[in-house]
Amino acid sequence: LLPLLPDLRACWRWSVATADAELISALDGPLYRLLRETALREGAALYEIAWEQLQIVWQENGRTLPQQTALAHLATHLGFFRLFCGDAYGARPCLEYALSELDRLHITTGRNTALAALADTLSILGQYEAAAALWQQELRTVDANANSPHLSLFLCNLGEILYHMGRLEEAQEALLRALEMDVADEPDYNVAIVLNNLGLTEVALGNFARARVLLEQSLRIRQQYTNAYRIASARRALGLLAVAEGDFARAWQQLREAQQLYEESGRLDGLGPVHVGLARAAMGEGDWETAEQQIQQALASAVQLRHVAHGLDGLWRWGELLWRVGRCDDALRLLGYVLHHSNASGFLVREIKTFLAAQQISVELLQPLDDVDWQWWVQQNPWVHV
- Residue (of 285, 228, 292, 215) closest to 260 by Cα position: 228
For the chain, residues with pLDDT lower than 70 are 1-2, 60-61, 143-149, 182-187, 365-371, 381-386
pLDDT at 385: 47
What are φ and ψ of residue 75, in 5° steps? -65, -40
Mean pLDDT of the chain: 88
CB 346, CB 126: distance < 8 Å: no
- pLDDT, one tens digit per residue, over 119-156 is 999 998 889 999 999 998 888 877 655 556 678 888 99
Q: pTM of the predicted model, to two decimals?
A: 0.85
Q: Classify residue 61 by burial, with Cβ atoms within 10 Å: 0-12, 13-18, 19+.
A: exposed
Rounded to whole angstroms, what are the CA distances from 206 to 154, 161, 382? 25, 19, 35
User: How far apart are the C-alpha atoms of 335 and 22, rounded to whole Å?
Assistant: 53
pLDDT at 229: 87
User: How far apart are the C-alpha atoms of 295 and 368, rounded to whole Å?
Assistant: 24
| Helical packing angle, 111-124 and 128-141, nearest 10° | 160
Would you tell me how many other CB atoms lie within 10 Å of the CB of residue 166? 18
| Beta carbons within 8 Å of 225's beta carbon, 6+ residues apart | 189, 231
CB 200, CB 211: distance < 8 Å: yes
Task: Name the class of domain 127-225.
Answer: mainly alpha
Angle 352-357-362 from CA coordinates, rounded to 5°:
80
Chain center to CA of 95: 15
